[in-house]
Structure 1
Amino acid sequence: MVDQRAAADLDAIFQALSHPTRRALIEDLATGPASVTELAEPHDISLAAVSKHLQVLEDAGLIEVEQDGRVRQCQLEAEPLSVAFGWLTQYRVFWDDRLDALGDHLENEGQ
Structure 2
Amino acid sequence: MSTEAAWTVYILASGHHGTLYIGVTNDLRRRLEEHRAGRGSKFVSKYRVFRLVHVERFARPLEAIAREKQLKNWHRDWKVELIQRDNLDWSDLSGLIFGR
- Higher Cα Rg: structure 1 or 2? 1
The structure carrying a bigger helix percent of its residues is: 1
TM over 0.5, shorter chain = no
TM range (shorter): under 0.3
The structure carrying a bigger strand percent of its residues is: 2
The structure, 1 or 2, with the larger RCO (C-alpha pairs under 8 Å, 6+ apart) is: 2
Instruction: State the TM-score, normalized to the length of structure 1.
Output: 0.24
